[in-house]
Structure 1
Amino acid sequence: MRRYITALMLACCIGGYGQEKKQVTFVPPFDFPLTLSGNFGEIRSNHFHGGLDFKTGGVIGKPVRALADGYISRIRVTNGSGYVLDVCYHNGYSTINRHLSGFVSPIAERVEKLQYEEENWEVEIVPEPGEYPVKGGQQIAWSGNTGYSFGPHLHLDVFETESGDYIDPMPFFQSKIKDTRAPKADGILFFPQLGKGVVDGKQENKTILPNSERPVEAWGVIGVGIKAYDYMDGVNNHYGVYSVVLTVDGNEIFRSTVDRFSQEENRMINSWTYGQYMKSFIDPGNTLRLLKASNDNRGLVTIDEERDYQFLYTLKDAFGNTSKYSFTVRGRKQPIEPLNHREKYYFTWNKTNYLQEPGLNLVVPKGMLYDDVPLNYQVKADSGAVAFTYQLNDKAVPLHAACELCIGLRRKPIADTTKYYVARITPKGGKYSVGGKYEDGYMKASIRELGTYTVAIDTIPPEIIPVNKNQWGRNGKIVYRLKDQGAGIASYRGTIDGKYALFGRPNIVKSYWECTLDPKRVKKGGKHTVEFTVTDYCGNETVARESFVW
């Protein structure tokens, strides 16, 4: 993505497309009234929601329009975002249109041709600048429900072409959307800092209801956070909150303004949020620009006087609708137990950290942690296991980027080392693969969080399940469902009557692999044989053969 944006910046600069952005206006992506199912910056797993989700009335196939004059800069089919179309506009902005149901001609034909040439559902085309020019209001695609999508909609990202920053598209369409409803808070969360503060006599997080009249007693250094959502007229969805301001005794302590972020900043959402709570303080390793602390302690508050401290949250959406929530923290002097932890298992955010134990090696480079982490490290042994189970920490700690974890094998019951993988153990005892490769007695894998890991074996091939086979001919579509209990599905390939057939995952939420029958490639009016081959990441393979009439 970063390489593509760099090339796009260069192309736009060569074309002389820079203009004063304050004068920019956009044509709406649709010619019907606009309503949203998602807004910019909503809290998502490991990332911010990068754009606006426009509703399409519960149906697919609505014409999607270019927002201004420009050109098609990138064309993709992906599992995650479905059919995707990027547009570079001459006004200094670019967009990404996701979850489309299809492209318009001649792009649609070019994509299909490439899919068959590469024998792959997922393809990418980066046209020459100006190869596919567009005018504002011109149809460029069809809306859909492809990729990781829970219903028909258009996801529209807008980013500055020069900087690559994702920006809030709302100002461009604000006049077309009605919103008179203010954000609402669902809860307040207190974060007593370990070894430095207590809340109601404990060094544990504590939640209260918004506008609670009962004071919370505290002493020392604490942080607070708020769980809140925005709402709009005429719809039941809830959205992220554009602006959060915290004041204590009338003085601003913290402010968040969700108006832009870079791809490099995206995972920093894991530092700013705690579940659905937005923290009103900044971890020392978090450089997210949309967060601003106004005191000298990153937004943390020191309660060091036996008096009442008046806290006030002001929530505002992009339309200026505002709500306020107040609560009282009563300073009461009470003992604070110091943090006692072995230095060997204490990771600090501003240096490279090493964890080297028998059968385990982990390196966490500087810049991967957002705050210091006192690890709750344990080793769990099972006499029959191929490796120990290593609890790096009892609670997951997100890393800013992938770090290499090496786990040694205690024994090798299977000689073929491609059958081994590193497994992440969930809090409920389940496991899933994070990949890995065998090297010199160790399994090496990249991990994105500190948690619990071990090594597992997968010798069981995937399961291929035909879905409504008796309807294939009538519906003109072959549908399979796949299951794999170990390393996960790595690849698949289908043929019909010995010729390559284009299978894909139009919607990965439904977990179906589909092939739409094309009379240009499969002759109608007879019996046909489909062969579908599926391979998992440990090289286990299953081949299914079925006959159908079409």
Structure 2
Amino acid sequence: MKQYIAALMLACCVGVCGQEKKQVTFVPPFDFPLTLSGNFGEIRSNHFHGGLDFKTGGVIGKPVRALADGYISRIRVTNGSGYVLDVCYHNGYSTVNRHLSGFISPIAERVEKLQYENENWEVEIIPEPDEYPVKGGQQIAWSGNTGYSFGPHLHLDVFETESGDYIDPMPFFKSKIKDTRAPKADGIMFFPQPGKGVVDGKQQTQTILPNAESPVEAWGVIGTGIKAYDYMDGASNHYGVYSVVLTVDGNEVFRSTVDRFSQEENRMINSWTCGQYMKSFIEPGNTLRLLKASNGNRGLVTIDEERDYQFLYTLKDAFGNTSKYGFTVRGRKQPVEPLSHREKYFFAWDKTNYLQEPGLSLVVPKGMLYDDVPLNYQVKADSGAVAFTYQINDKPVSLHAGCEIRIGLRRRPVADTTKYYVARVTPKGRKYSVGGKYEDGYMKTSVRELGTYTVAVDTIPPEIIPVNKNHWGRNGKIVYRLKDEGAGIASYRGMIDGKYALFGRPNIVKSYWECKLDSKHMKKGGKHTVEFTVTDNCGNETVSRETFVW
């Protein structure tokens, strides 16, 4: 993504980056009233929601329009975002339109031709700037529900071309959207700092309801966080909050303004949030620009006087609708237990950390942690297991990027080393593959959280399940469901009457694979044989052969 944005910066919008951005106007992506199912910067798993989700009335196939004059700069079909169209505008901005149902001619034909040439559902085309020019208001695609999508909508990302930053598209469409509803808070969380603070006699995180009347007793260094959502007129959805300001005794200590972020900053959401709570302090390794602390202590508050401290949250949305939530922290001297940890198992945020144990090695380079982590390290031995299970930490800690882990094999029940994979183990004991390759008695892979890991074996081929086989001909499409309990599905390939057939995964939430029957690629009228081959990440393969009439 970063390389693509950098190339886009060189290729498009030359000479316009210095223009005043406030003068830019956009045509709405649709010609009907705009309502949103998601806004910019909402808290998602490991990332911010990068744009706006426009509702399309519960249907697919609405014409999607260009927002201004520019050109189509990238065309893709992907599993995650479905049909995707990128547009570079001459005004210094670029957009990505995701989850489309299809492209317009001649792009649609070009994409299908490439899919058959590459024999792959997922394709990418980067046209020359003069190939597909667009004018503001011109149709460029059809809205859809493809990729990782829970219902028909258009996801629109807006980038500032010069910097490559995701920016909040809301200012461009505020005049077309009605919003008179202020954000609402659902809870306040306290974060007593390890070895430095205590809240109500405890050093664990605690929650209270907003506007709680009873004071919370605390001593030492604490942080707070808030769980809150925004709401809009005419929609039952809830959204992310644009601005959060925390004051203590009338003095601002922290502010978040969710208006832009870079791809490099995306995973820092794991440092800023705890579940759906937004922290009102900044961990030392977190450089998210949308967070500002103004009290000289990263937004942390020192309770060192036996008196009442007045905390006040002010929440604001992009339309200026505002709500306030206050609560009292009563300073009361309480014992603060010093942080006890084993030096060997202490990871510092500002240096490279190594964990070397029998059968395990992990390297966490500087810049991968947002804060210090005293590891709760344990080894769980099972005499019959392929490898020990290594609990690096009892609570998963997100890393900023992948870090190399090596786990030694204690026994090899299967001679073929391609059948082994590194598995993340959940608190309930379920295993999920994180990949890996065998090397000198170890399985090596990259992990993005400090959690619990082991090595597992997968010799079981995937399962191929035909869906409504008797209706394939009548419905004009072949549909399969695939299951793999081990390393996960790596690839698939379909053939009809000995020729390549274009199977894809149009919506990965629904988890089915389909091929639409097309007389351009097979003769209609008669009996046909379909062969579908699926391979998992450990090389186990299943082949299904079925016949149907179409």
Q: Name the TM-score, length of structure 1 as normaliser.
A: 0.99
Q: 1:388 to 1:322 in 2, by over 3 A?
A: same
Q: Which residue does 1:286 correspond to in 2?
A: 286
- Tell me the equivalent position of 1:256: 256
- Report what 2:444 is aligned to: 444
- Which residue of the partner structure matches residue 348 of structure 2? 348
* Structure 1 position 19, deviation (Å): 2.7
Aligned residue for 2:103? 103
- Is 1:74 aligned with 2:74? yes
Match of 2:177 in 1: 177
Offset at 1:412?
1.1
- Who is 2:528 aligned against? 528
Cα contact 1:464–1:542 (8 A) shared by 2 = yes
Please name the residue that 2:147 is paired with. 147
Shift of 1:131: 1.3
2:499 matched to 1:465? no
Distance 1:340 1:228 in 2: 34
Q: Secondary structure at the match of 1:292?
A: strand
CA contact (8 A) 2:254 2:292 kept: yes
- Cα distance change on mapping 1:420 and 1:55 into 2, 3 Å: same
Q: Is the 8 A contact 1:18 1:90 kept in 2?
A: no
Corresponding residue number in structure 2 for 1:307: 307
- Name 1:431's counterpart in structure 2: 431
Structure 1 Cα separation of the partners of residues 18 and 412 of structure 2:
61
Residue 18 of structure 1: CA displacement?
Answer: 5.2
Q: Give CA deviations for 1:69-97 in whole Å, capped at 9, x if unaligned.
A: 00000000000000000000000000000
Name the structure 1 match of 2:126.
Answer: 126
Q: In 1, are the aligned partners of 2:408 and 2:441 still within 8 Å (CA)?
A: yes
Question: Counterpart in 1 of 2:225?
Answer: 225
Partner in structure 1 of residue 358 of structure 2: 358
Is contact 2:16-2:91 (8 Å) kept? no
Residue 484 of structure 1 aligns with which residue?
484
TM-superposed deviation, 1:435: 0.1
Aligned residues: 550
Distance in 2, Cα, partners of 1:502 & 1:305: 70
Q: Deviations over 1:299-342 (max 9, x none)?
A: 00000000000000000000000000000000000110001111
Alpha-carbon separation, structure 2, partners of 1:12 and 1:464: 45
Residue 436 of structure 1 contacts residue 445 of structure 1 at CA under 8 Å; is this kept in 2?
Answer: yes
Give a deviation string over 1:323-378, Cα, whole Å, max 9, x none.
00000000000110001111100000000000000000000000000000000000
Counterparts of 2:272 and 2:350, CA distance in 1: 17
Taking the aligned partners of 1:215 and 1:249, their CA distance within structure 2 comes to 14
Between 63-72 and 406-415, the greater mean CA deviation after superposition: 406-415
Tell me the CA shift for residue 415 of structure 1: 1.0
Deviations 1:162-214 (A, max 9, x none): 10000000000000000000000000000000100000001011100000000
Aligned-partner Cα distance in 2 for 1:22–1:89: 15
> What do residues 250-306 of structure 1 show as CA deviations (whole Å, max 9, x unaligned)?
000000000000000000000000000000000000000000001111000000000
Does the 8 Å contact 1:12/1:18 carry over to 2? Answer: no
Q: Contact 2:187–2:226 (CA<8 Å) still a contact in 1? A: yes
2: CA distance, partners of 1:263 / 1:112: 30
In the alignment, does 2:64 pair up with 1:25?
A: no
Asked if 2 retains the 8 angstrom alpha-carbon contact of 1:17 and 1:90, the reply is: no
Cα displacement (A) at 1:14 = 4.3
What amino acid sits opposite 2:144 in the alignment? G
2:13–2:161 Cα contact (<8 Å) kept = no
Q: Which residue pairs with 1:56 in the alignment?
A: 56
Aligned twin of 1:3: 3
Q: Is the 8 A contact 2:347 2:373 kept in 1?
A: yes
The residue number in structure 2 matching 1:162 is: 162
Check whether the contact 2:13–2:90 (CA below 8 A) recurs between aligned residues. no
Q: Secondary structure at the match of 2:12?
A: helix
Displacement of 1:130 in angstroms is 2.1
In structure 2, what is the Cα distance between the partners aligned to 1:184 and 1:16? 40
Alpha-carbon distance between aligned partners in 2 of 1:142 and 1:12, rounded to the nearest angstrom? 24
Residue identity opposite 2:378 in structure 1: Q
For 2:230 and 2:3, the matched residues in 1 are separated by 35
Work out the CA distance in 2 between the residues paired with 1:510 and 1:465.
Answer: 14
* Partner Cα separation in structure 2 for residue 5 and residue 394 of structure 1: 38
Percent of paired sites with the same residue: 90
2-structure distance, mates of 1:449, 1:143: 36
Alignment of 1:489-500 (within 5 A): 489-500=489-500
1:321–1:118 distance in 2 versus 1, CA, 3 Å: same
Supply the distance in 2 between the matched residues of 1:380 and 1:237 (Cα, whole angstroms): 44
Q: How much has 1:15 moved relative to structure 2?
A: 6.5
Residue 387 (structure 1) aligned with residue 390 (structure 2): no
Counterpart-to-counterpart distance in 1, 2:273 and 2:96: 26
Matched-pair contact (CA < 8 Å) for 1:18–1:91: no
SS of residue paired to 1:508 = coil
Deviation digits for residues 496-539 of structure 1 (CA, Å, limit 9, x no counterpart): 00000000000000000000001111211111000000000000
Code of the residue aligned with 1:489 in structure 2: it is I
AA in 1 matched with 2:349: W
For structure 2, list consecutive stretches of 5 or more residues without a partner in the other structure: none
After superposition, the CA RMSD in angstroms is 0.7
After superposition, the C-alpha distances for 1:232-260 in whole angstroms (9 at most, x for unaligned) are 00110000000000000000000000000
Q: 1:13 to 1:137 in 2, by over 3 A?
A: closer
**2:386 aligned with 1:369:** no
SS of residue matched to 1:113: helix
Gaps of 5+ in 1: none
Q: Distance in 2 between matches of 1:83 and 1:456?
A: 35
Q: Deviations over 1:81-114 (max 9, x none)?
A: 0000000000000000000000001110000000
SS state at 2:116 partner? helix
Q: Counterparts of 1:76 and 1:17 in 2: how far apart (Å)?
A: 26
Partner of 1:361, secondary structure, is: strand
Q: Give the equivalent residue in structure 2 for 1:274.
A: 274
**Paired residue for 2:548?**
548
Mapped contact 1:420–1:455 kept (Cα < 8 A): yes
* Distance of 1:142 and 1:393 partners within structure 2: 46
| Alpha-carbon distance in 1 for matches of 2:117, 2:252 | 60
By how many angstroms is 1:542 displaced? 0.1
Q: Letter of the aligned partner of 1:364 in structure 2?
A: V
Offset of 1:16 from its aligned partner? 5.4
Q: Indicate if the aligned counterparts of 2:17 and 2:162 stay in contact, CA closer than 8 A.
A: no
1:16-72: per-residue Cα shift (whole Å, max 9, x none)? 565321110000000000000000000000000000000000000000000000000
Counterpart of 2:412 in structure 1: which amino acid?
A: K
What amino acid sits opposite 1:506 in the alignment? P
Q: Which amino acid aligns with 1:271?
A: S
SS at match of 2:254: strand
Determine if contact 2:54/2:155 at 8 Å carries over to the other structure. yes
Partners of 1:340 and 1:233 in 2: how far apart? 51
Distance verdict in 2 for CA 1:15–1:501, change over 3 Å: farther
* Residue aligning to 1:408: 408
